[in-house]
Amino acid sequence: MTTQNLSGKVALIQGGSRGIGAAIVKRLAAQGAAVAFTYVSSAAKAEALQNSVISEGGKALAIRADSADAAAIRNAVNATVDAFGRLDILVNNAGVLAIAPLEDFKLEDFDQTLAINVRSVFIATQEAAKHMGDGGRVINIGSTNAERMPFGGGGPYAMSKAALVGLTKGLARDLGPRGITINNVQPGPVDTDMNPADSDFAESLMGLMAVGRYGHVEEIASFVAYLAGPEAGYITGASLTIDGGFSA
The predicted pLDDT at position 133 comes to 92
CA separation (Å) from 186 to 93, 154, 194, 247?
11, 16, 17, 10
The predicted pLDDT at position 2 comes to 77
| Structural domains of the chain sorted by starting position, each given as residue range(s) with its CATH number in brackets | 10-239 (3.40.50.720)
| pTM exceeding the 0.85 threshold for the entire prediction | yes
Are the C-beta atoms of residues 86 and 25 closer than 8 Å to each other?
no
Q: Which residues are catalytic?
A: 157
Q: Which of 90, 114, 125, 81 lies closest to 13 in space, CA to CA?
A: 90
The predicted pLDDT at position 18 comes to 94
Low-confidence ranges of the chain (pLDDT < 70): 1
The predicted pLDDT at position 1 comes to 65
Are the C-beta atoms of residues 24 and 222 closer than 8 Å to each other?
no
CA 11 to CA 132: how far, in whole Å? Answer: 11
Q: Which of 153, 160, 172, 212 lies closest to 188 in space, CA to CA?
A: 212
**For 35-69, how does the pLDDT look when each residue is reduced to its tens digit (9 = 90+)?**
999 999 989 999 999 999 999 999 999 999 999 99
CA 30 to CA 39: how far, in whole Å? Answer: 20
The predicted pLDDT at position 42 comes to 86
